């Protein structure tokens, strides 16, 4: 029998496991869940269900890796508060310290998967992704840097003809495929395509010129030391009238963050500076803060944009 509409079995399940394994997060998580409005509570249960499916037998490890991630972010936060800058400055540093470390990368992806439910700014970004971006799904969709694969999974549930992913790391794409398989999807079906390619490869713009009707660029921009070149490439590989979803945090130190934006206004000015029309713009504070408080304290804010490549 289907569950009554007022129950939340998946969310309650992952919350029980998280608190059993890492009880120090209880106060934060209780406050975070209490602040969710009715619309967010609905999407939270759906996200939790996807997390349960994608984590499979590894849910407990994902909970432990969330704890590891929050401690790692706290260390980066202390550096950011002292210096006013992110600790790493180049992509090569991030490769050496993070991306070339497979065990660390797995923990990082697992922890980020849990943040989609545990961090309200991430949940609200997904709500916008579904409402403002996937509602117009058609044609060919590409996600750059799919990571844990949750957004790719949601795109696959929409009306896109093909759902594709591009990542410089073939190993990372295998992690994405594994999550999709555990969620009951076949990554080898003709509807999925995976490209182990570097976005900065000069051949990308020519090979995929005007190819995509939709591009997802979520929590990637902050990881780049050539962000302007990245957006120029996205503009080139989108068809005229194509749509772009961007989620980029401001004032958000993390072990591999490079590109610092200091306000939502700065983020909007940046993404709008490459010829895109800005159709949707939202800002969501992290750390259980109000937006005003996050702005005043230069704390993490998720900035979400839906942009269109002009037709002329």
HEC assignment per residue over the chain: CCCCCCCCHHHHHHHHHHHHHCHHHHHHHHHHHHCCCHHHHHHHHHHHHHHHHHHHHHHHHHHHHHHHHHHHHHHHHHHHHHHCCCCCCCHHHHHHHHHCCHHHHHHHHHHHHHHHHHCHHHHHHHHHHHHHHHHHCCCEEEEECCCCCHHHHHHHCCCCCEEEEEECCHHHHHHHHHHHHHCCCCCCCCCEEEEECCCCCHHHHHHCCCCEEEEEEECCHHHCCCHHHHHHHHHHHEEEEEEEEEEEEECCCCCCCCCCCCCHHHHHHHHHHHCCEEEEEEEEECCCCCHHHHHHHCCCEEEEEEEECCCC
CATH number for the segment(s) 136-308: 3.40.50.150
Report pLDDT for 198.
95
Which pLDDT score is estimated for 1? 36
pLDDT tens for the chain, residues 1 to 312: 344 445 799 999 999 999 999 999 999 999 999 999 999 999 999 999 999 999 999 999 999 999 999 999 999 999 999 999 999 999 999 999 999 999 999 999 999 999 999 999 999 999 999 999 999 899 999 999 999 999 999 999 999 999 999 999 888 999 999 999 999 999 999 999 999 999 999 999 999 999 999 999 999 999 999 999 999 999 999 999 999 999 999 999 999 999 999 999 999 999 999 999 999 999 999 999 999 999 999 999 999 999 999 997
> What pLDDT is attached to residue 67?
99
**pLDDT (0 to 100) of residue 7:** 75
pLDDT on residue 2: 45
Using the structure block, give the residue that is written with the tokens 């702005």: 295
Residue 312: predicted pLDDT = 78
| Segments of the chain assigned to CATH 3.40.50.150 | 136-308
The answer to whether 143 and 218 are in contact (CB under 8 A) is yes
pTM summary value? 0.95
CB atoms within 10 A of CB 71: 10
């Amino acid at each position: 029998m289907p569950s009554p509409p007022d129950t939340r079995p998946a969310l309650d399940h992952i919350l029980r496991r998280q608190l059993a394994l890492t009880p120090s997060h209880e106060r934060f998580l209780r406050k975070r869940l209490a602040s969710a409005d009715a619309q967010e509570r609905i999407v939270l249960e759906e996200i939790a269900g996807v997390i349960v499916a994608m984590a499979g037998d590894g849910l407990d490890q994902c909970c432990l890796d969330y704890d590891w991630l929050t401690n790692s972010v706290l260390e980066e936060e202390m550096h950011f508060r002292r210096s006013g800058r992110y600790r790493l400055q180049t992509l090569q540093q991030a490769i050496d310290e993070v991306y070339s470390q497979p065990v660390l990368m797995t923990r990082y992806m697992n922890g980020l998967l849990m943040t989609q439910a545990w961090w309200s700014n991430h949940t609200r970004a997904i709500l916008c992704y579904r409402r403002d971006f996937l509602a117009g799904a058609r044609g060919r969709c590409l996600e750059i840097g799919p990571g844990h694969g949750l957004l790719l999974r949601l795109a696959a549930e929409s009306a896109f003809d093909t759902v594709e992913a591009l990542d410089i790391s073939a190993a990372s794409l295998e992690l994405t495929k594994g999550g999709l398989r555990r969620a009951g999807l076949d990554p080898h079906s003709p509807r999925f395509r995976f490209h182990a390619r570097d976005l900065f490869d000069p051949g990308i713009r020519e090979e995929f010129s005007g190819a995509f009707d939709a591009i997802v660029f979520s929590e990637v921009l902050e990881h780049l030391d050539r962000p302007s070149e990245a957006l120029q490439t996205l503009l080139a590989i989108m068809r005229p009238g194509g749509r772009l979803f961007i989620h980029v945090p401001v004032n958000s130190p993390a072990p591999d963050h490079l590109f610092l934006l200091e306000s939502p206004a700065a983020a909007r000015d940046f993404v709008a500076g490459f010829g895109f029309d800005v159709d949707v713009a939202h800002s969501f504070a992290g750390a259980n803060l109000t937006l005003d408080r996050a702005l005043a304290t230069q704390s993490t804010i998720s900035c979400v944009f839906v942009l269109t490549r002009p037709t002329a």
